[in-house]
């Protein structure tokens, strides 16, 4: 087991180095704006550009910059300083993480609460009017871009610009003080982020359930005289949910890593996704690098923990 964990940790670390290198290569080889020139403002004094290049250590060879960066990350958990604000990247990420975590956690609860029952009912009532209605609705939600859905939600229900003024609108998270107020400010973002995902989960769940319910052991369970509810819940759902669990782990990791960009931008939630948009627009390499590394770190660690526990519980994994 120890060897297994050590192997996975080393592999995770190597993966982080590779991810960092890829981001570095992308930044230096693709035509991004030069951070020194962006920061110099309108004054065309070449000496000033040179000063800023030096200030940002951009004159060092790329491999030196990369090595210094890696040293900071791995030995001091230091992700460097933002080119733009000069604030430590780690501080900014830690500052942005709660908003993203709250957004993702609420949305996960909603999309599971909506998507799974819909998928199960659709599968059980296959080809009924209810099934068709729910699947058409889910298709519509999948097709609706999140930014569009977000703006529509704002203009319909936000308490400042909405037609029916009920829920907190754009930017309300920043002004919310208590945890309850923060949760309330997230209501529309949760629903918007959950809507499309719930629809996807519903369709996955439906197809998985249909497949499972056609298995021999389901017929056997029914033949043994089990109640239909037990057949569906204890034998059908527990088996059909396997792909959903895998999907969920990946989705949560990605969203925490900044994939809720559109929702965070539309509702002005100061989270990881919003921050990465700002950083890309300003060619703020340390911030981009930090967020990408953070995302990769989170996904790797998360999967590692699951795999370790999996390996602990299932002896077959250790020998593979």
Partner 1 sequence: MRLKWLRLALPLAVLLALVFAFTSCGDDDDEGGGGGGGGASGSTGIPEEFAAPTAAPDDAQKGGNLTLISEGDIDYIDPGAAYYQVTYTIDFGIFRQLVSWPPDATEDPAPDLAEDDPEISDDNKTITFRIQDGISYSPPLEDREVTTADIKYAIERSLMPGVANGYTTTYMKDIVGMDEAIKASEENKTVAPDISGIETPDDKTIVFHLDRTSVEGVLGALSLPVSSPVPEDYAKEFDAESPSTYGDHAVFTGPYMIENDDKGNLTGYSPGKEIKIVRNPSWDPETDFRPAYLDSITMQQGFSDPTSAAKKVLEGSAQVTFDFPPSPTVIQEVAQGGKYDASQMSVTPSGGNRYIALNTQEKPFDDINIRKAVIAGSDRTALRNTRGGELIGPVANHYIPPLIPGFEEAGGLEAPEGLDYLANEDGDPALAAEYMKKAGFESGKCEGSECRITMVGDDSPPGRDTATVFNDQLEQLGFDVQFQPVEHSLMYTKFCSVPSNQPDVCPNVGFIKDCNDPECFFDIPWYGPSINPDNNSNWGRLDDPEVNKGIEEARLITDPDERAQAYGDLDKLVMSKAAVLPWVFDNDVVVRSPDVDLVINLFNALVDISYTSIRR
Structure tokens at 42: 């309108």
Q: Please identify which residue in 87, 136, 139, 152 interacts with partner 1, judged by CB under 8 A.
A: 87
Give the shortest CB-129-to-partner 1 separation in angstroms: 31
Contact 308, 317 (CB under 8 A): no
CA distance 197 to 115: 8
State the helix-helix crossing angle for 285-313 and 62-76, rounded to 10 degrees: 50
CA distance 280 to 277: 5
| Residue 283 lies near partner 1 (rule: CB under 8 A) | yes
CA distance 154 to 39: 35
Contact positions with partner 1 (CB under 8 A) in 100-119? 101-102, 104-105, 108-109
90: left (phi over 0), alpha (psi -120 to 50) or beta: alpha
Bridge partner list, 187: none
Nearer to partner 1, 126 or 318 (CB): 318
DSSP state for residue 150 in the 8-state scheme: H
Nearer to partner 1, 66 or 173 (CB): 173
Q: What is the dihedral of CA 304, 305, 311, 317, to 10 degrees?
A: -20
Bridge partner list, 167: 158
| Residue 49 lies near partner 1 (rule: CB under 8 A) | yes
Q: x/- string (CB under 8 A) for partner 1, residues 17-46?
A: --------------xxxx--xxxxxxxxxx
Q: Please identify which residue in 2, 77, 129, 177 interacts with partner 1, judged by CB under 8 A.
A: 177
Sign of CA dihedral 46, 52, 58, 60: positive
Nearer to partner 1, 2 or 43 (CB): 43
| Residue 254 lies near partner 1 (rule: CB under 8 A) | no
Nearer to partner 1, 129 or 163 (CB): 163
| Residue 65 lies near partner 1 (rule: CB under 8 A) | no
DSSP state for residue 167 in the 8-state scheme: B
Nearer to partner 1, 130 or 254 (CB): 254
Give the shortest CB-56-to-partner 1 separation in angstroms: 8
CA distance 319 to 175: 53
CA distance 193 to 276: 18
| Residue 182 lies near partner 1 (rule: CB under 8 A) | yes
Give the shortest CB-229-to-partner 1 separation in angstroms: 18
End-to-end CA distance of the chain: 12
Q: Please identify which residue in 115, 236, 258, 270 interacts with partner 1, judged by CB under 8 A.
A: 270
| Residue 90 lies near partner 1 (rule: CB under 8 A) | no
| Residue 200 lies near partner 1 (rule: CB under 8 A) | no
Nearer to partner 1, 24 or 173 (CB): 173
Q: Which listed range, 5-13, 72-80, 213-221, 251-259, lies at the site for partner 1 (CB under 8 A)?
A: 251-259
CA distance 204 to 210: 10
Contact positions with partner 1 (CB under 8 A) in 117-176? 151, 154-155, 158-161, 169-171, 173-176
């Amino acid at each position: 087991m120890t060897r297994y964990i050590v192997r996975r940790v080393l592999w995770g670390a190597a993966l982080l180095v590779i991810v960092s290198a890829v981001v570095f290569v992308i930044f230096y080889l693709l035509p991004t704006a030069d951070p020194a020139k962006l920061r110099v403002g309108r004054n065309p004094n070449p000496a000033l550009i040179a000063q800023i290049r030096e200030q940002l250590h951009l004159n060092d060879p790329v491999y030196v910059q990369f090595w210094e960066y890696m040293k900071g990350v791995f030995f001091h958990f230091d992700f460097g300083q933002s080119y733009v604000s000069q604030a430590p990247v780690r501080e900014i990420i830690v500052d942005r993480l709660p908003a993203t975590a709250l957004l993702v956690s609420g949305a996960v609860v909603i999309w599971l609460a909506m998507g799974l029952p819909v998928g199960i009912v659709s599968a059980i009532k296959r080809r009924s009017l209810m099934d068709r209605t729910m699947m058409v609705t889910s298709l519509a939600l999948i097709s609706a871009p999140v930014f569009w859905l977000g703006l529509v939600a704002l203009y319909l229900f936000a308490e400042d610009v909405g037609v029916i003024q009920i829920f907190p609108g754009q930017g309300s998270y920043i002004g919310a003080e208590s945890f309850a107020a923060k949760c309330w400010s997230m209501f529309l973002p949760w629903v918007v982020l959950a809507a499309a995902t719930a629809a996807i989960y519903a369709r996955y769940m439906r197809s998985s359930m249909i497949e499972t319910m056609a298995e021999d052991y389901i017929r056997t369970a029914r033949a043994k005289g089990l109640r239909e509810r037990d057949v569906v819940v204890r034998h059908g759902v527990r088996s059909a949910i396997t792909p959903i669990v895998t999907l969920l782990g990946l989705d949560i990791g990605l969203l925490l890593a900044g994939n809720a960009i559109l929702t965070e931008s539309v509702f002005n939630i100061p989270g990881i996704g919003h921050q990465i948009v700002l950083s890309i627009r300003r060619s703020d390499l340390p911030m981009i690098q930090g967020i990408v590394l953070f995302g990769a770190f989170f996904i790797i660690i998360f999967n590692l923990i699951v795999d370790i526990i999996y390996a602990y519980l299932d002896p077959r994994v250790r020998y593979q």
